[in-house]
Amino acid sequence: MYTFSSKLKTFSFLLMAIGVLGIGYGFWSAPKDIQEVETLLAAESHGSHGEVKHETSKPVEEHVVSNGHEEAQSTKEGNAIVSPTDSTSEVINEVHENSLHTEVAVKKGEHEISEEVKHAEHAEHLNHVLHQLQNKPWAAFYVACIFFMLVSLGVLAFYAIQQVAQAGWSPVLFRVMQGITSYLPVGSVVFFIVLLLCGLHLNHLFIWLDPEVVATDKLIANKAGYLNFPFWIVRAAIFLTGWSLYHYYSRKNCLAQDEASDDLFYKKNFKLSAMFLVFFIVTESIMSWDWIMSIDPHWFSTLFGWYVFSSFFVSGITTIALVTLYLKSRGFLEHVNTSHIHDLAKFMFGFSIFWTYLWFSQYMLIWYANIPEEVTYYITRIELYNLPFFGAVVMNFVFPLLILVNTDFKRITWVLVMAGAVILVGHYIDFFNMIMPGTVGDRWFIGVSEIASVLFFLGLFIYVVFTALTKVPLLPKRNPFIEESKHFHY
């Protein structure tokens, strides 16, 4: 039996406390109304100029500067005796006067024509930025919430596959996997509440939930048969309940099998897992459209479901490896040897490559064809999220590729912990890249809200998982493959 170390428990409470404070701060510091946004933007564009004035004056200034360069060159050639600094400063003065003139002229012209239009545009811009900034703490919470829930779902899928494949190596890890998937019901409840809050218009994460947007946006209006709140929330309820039910009954059967005198419960679990996998792959696809792709309701991609799956599946396997290594280091997993660890590391390696394959396939097909309606998705990400977008590929592909390709490294604890940490952070960033551009746009930052949300869910995850691990023995007793698994050697 595993006992939850009091240090780890305190640590998880600490994470949750810091997380709650940070999340609260994120919501408190988000702007409440247009005025706050206006002062914020004014501060960003160096005080005196308002946002719109700044934008219109920009092209004029650039134009003048380029003129100035040309003039400066010609004067230099003409007056070779005059020192270059003097001549350029004179020219700059001259140009400055000119620029003032032109600026005024341009302003006068535009002033007469489009005062009202500009005001409307300005208000619209402010409104846009306000929505983005108000979304920021919500989106940070949403990314962390869905990430940790899907990690435990990835473990659940891996567990079901191991059952159905009758794997001979993994039964010693079944209780670890069941422990990790105990987070799924808890995470589902939190996640479902977030979805409900979205439906109650407390945020603008899903713009298709806003009736005003749907009224003016024909593309979204045409999707209203699928993207409408009642249907969407019912789907979510069915998926989350279905997954949690599989977790509950599979664990129950596994425990009953310990006390049984035949293999009836094992066979029940086999059938249950096979049915779950069918249910899972359908619901997983739909889930990815509902909870992630619909954040950008003008965009669609056919392999998106697989892509999301590969991302949380590899994170799930990594989590199994990390929890196993932790429990092993505390002396709780007697029968787990380096061969089991090696197998998990191979899965981490293989599915990191699989994720990259799907990431690249999706990216390259859209980049190559360059159809405007699809390609905006990537243009936003490459222009505004350059570092996270390509950084995720480095963390989730290049790093594991070079580290985990080595057989000996796959058995070394510290190498695996390091690689696992990079993979998990990389896939958090992957989800960040999927969700943030559609919700906060260029207003993204990995700051207090984002880090605090991750810490909160990490604390909750640790608390729930390790509490569940204390409930039952860490070694299944009467699994038909348990002996093979104990002596597994690669």
Partner 1 sequence: MSNKVIYAIYNDDDILMDAVKKTRAAHHHIEEVFTPFPVHGLDKAMGIAPTRLAICAFLYGCVGISVATAMMNYIMIQDWPQDIGGKPSFSYIENMPAFVPIMFELTVFFSAHLMVITFYMRSKLWPFKEAENPDVRTTDDHFLMEVAVNNNEEELVSFFQSTGAVEVKVIEKH
Binding positions for partner 1, rule: CB under 8 A: 360, 363-364, 367-368, 370, 405, 407
Burial of 85 (0-12, 13-18, 19+ CB in 10 A): exposed
Distances (CA, A) of 366 to 90, 219, 292, 300, 361: 52, 20, 18, 11, 9
Tokens of 386: 């350059």
Calpha distance 251→256 (Å, rounded): 9
Smallest gap, in angstroms, from Cβ of residue 379 to partner 1?
14
- Of 363 and 456, which has the nearer Cβ to partner 1? 363
Smallest gap, in angstroms, from Cβ of residue 353 to partner 1?
11
DSSP conformation class of 370: -
Smallest gap, in angstroms, from Cβ of residue 25 to partner 1?
40
For tokens 């309701």, what's the residue?
297
Smallest gap, in angstroms, from Cβ of residue 367 to partner 1?
5
Calpha distance 169→482 (Å, rounded): 8
- Of 65 and 405, which has the nearer Cβ to partner 1? 405
The angle subtended at Cα 87 by Cα 84 and Cα 89, nearest 5°, is 105
Q: Are 146 and 191 a contacting pair, CB within 8 Å?
A: yes
- Of 301 and 449, which has the nearer Cβ to partner 1? 301
Residue from 451, 463, 448, 469 nearest 13 by CA: 463
- Of 212 and 408, which has the nearer Cβ to partner 1? 408
- Of 307 and 312, which has the nearer Cβ to partner 1? 307
DSSP annotation string for 274-303: HHHHHHHHHHHHHHHHHHTGGGSTT---TT
Smallest gap, in angstroms, from Cβ of residue 308 to partner 1?
21
Q: 44 CB contacts (<8 Å, ≥6 apart)?
A: none
The percent of the chain in helix, strand and coil, each rounded to the nearest 5, is 80, 0, 20
- Of 235 and 346, which has the nearer Cβ to partner 1? 346
Residue 245: HSE in the Cβ half-sphere, 13 Å Cα cutoff: 12
Smallest gap, in angstroms, from Cβ of residue 370 to partner 1?
7
Smallest gap, in angstroms, from Cβ of residue 413 to partner 1?
21
- Of 22 and 400, which has the nearer Cβ to partner 1? 400
The angle subtended at Cα 473 by Cα 468 and Cα 478, nearest 5°, is 125
Q: 204 CB contacts (<8 Å, ≥6 apart)?
A: 131, 134, 135, 210, 439
- Of 11 and 367, which has the nearer Cβ to partner 1? 367
Calpha distance 482→484 (Å, rounded): 5
Smallest gap, in angstroms, from Cβ of residue 170 to partner 1?
21
Smallest gap, in angstroms, from Cβ of residue 445 to partner 1?
27
Smallest gap, in angstroms, from Cβ of residue 405 to partner 1?
7
Smallest gap, in angstroms, from Cβ of residue 305 to partner 1?
22
- Of 8 and 353, which has the nearer Cβ to partner 1? 353
Residue 45: HSE in the Cβ half-sphere, 13 Å Cα cutoff: 16
Calpha distance 196→431 (Å, rounded): 21
Tokens of 438: 């559609």
Distances (CA, A) of 261 to 115, 245, 257, 269: 85, 25, 8, 16
- Of 221 and 382, which has the nearer Cβ to partner 1? 382
Strands (E), 191-316: none
Calpha distance 303→323 (Å, rounded): 31
- Of 363 and 463, which has the nearer Cβ to partner 1? 363
Q: 138 CB contacts (<8 Å, ≥6 apart)?
A: 202, 203, 205, 439
- Of 159 and 363, which has the nearer Cβ to partner 1? 363
Smallest gap, in angstroms, from Cβ of residue 426 to partner 1?
19
